[in-house]
Structure 1
Amino acid sequence: MSIKPTHGYEIQKFIQVNKMDSWTKIQSGSIYYALSKLEKEGLIILAEEIGSGTKARKIYSITEKGKKELKELVKQELSHHINEIGSDKFIIYPLLNTLDKNSISDEIIEHIEKLNNQKIYLEKWQKVKVNQKTLEIEKIAFQMMISNLEYQIKWHNALIENIDDCVEASNEITNLIAKFDFSNAKEIEVDRAENIENLKYEILNNPDTAPEKLEELIKALRK
């Protein structure tokens, strides 16, 4: 709704088409409850109701309060750890264009510093705790925790180093979502997924053919 007014069914289809309920914590079945909650909190408003009865669709749009809340949530997420598969941070980059680059950089740099401090702390404890008598599982536990922090630092550094590309990708995704009605989309079959991913790559990495590839992507999603 930060991109365009929409309804619960389209959001549900967007999640299903992108298989987001299999690799994030987002569950399509909870959409209508979430919309009701957001409306009560004044973060979205009912802009229009189309149809009647069981086929009625409520079109919601984001409020100014909602936009401010979204910016704060994006900033908060930038400072969170990547703890597991399905971490919200893995889907953060489509929302990067809600913030200016300086805000993104400031949040990430501060978070990297915290991650580095945690890594240093764990490495010190590793030297103290790990010896010849230490159980193998304890040794591996330290290695896992330190390795996890190293990859998180690497991920966040990559975001900083490629901030322009990430924001551009965010804009492209915003453009796609704004143009396409996902309520008419079908779930992506495995054999179509590779073609769609290739089209996304072309859109993000080849500005000259991006408009043409965007149209191809929209057609592919409609099939």
Structure 2
Amino acid sequence: MARLMVLGLLRMKPMSGYEIQQVLSQSKTDAWAGILPGSIYHALKKMESESLVEIDALQQTGNRSKAIYKITKQGEEHFLELLREALQASSIRLPSQLYTALSFIQELGREEVLACLQLQREQLTRELEQQKAGIKIKQEFMNVDGVVELLFQNLYKQYELQLQLLDKLIAHYEQQ
């Protein structure tokens, strides 16, 4: 995922690893894409060795130099391959950790179950609000077209669906 994201962003304009990290972080893309800051730098170095990206410029800031990367023709081709693969891959990711825990939930007491479910509900609510703020930030960096709007709407619905399940589970355990 990191390679596709990094190459896609470099198609927009040459950037440093830090700039890529900031775009992903500020737009909250790193949260749903699962891209850690270190993976950006690792991907850049690996793709540089594979001639998918190259250093466009070195910027000096104080005692440090910052590499500005750009995508190569080979990188453009690889980006399209990764894009096709990603579009064809199954997009369903089930909350397996939650489902596994629910399989053994009877091992905990009612109050502990409710406390855990409430904590998860609060966390998901915060994440959903961060994602909603992310689209506003993303609009500052790029044109948010109909496809990106659909992406965000679907992302919100995934959170809302999970929150509905948690609400039903909480109601179930509150009635016991």
Q: TM-score, normalised by structure 1?
A: 0.39
Q: TM-score, normalised by structure 2?
A: 0.48
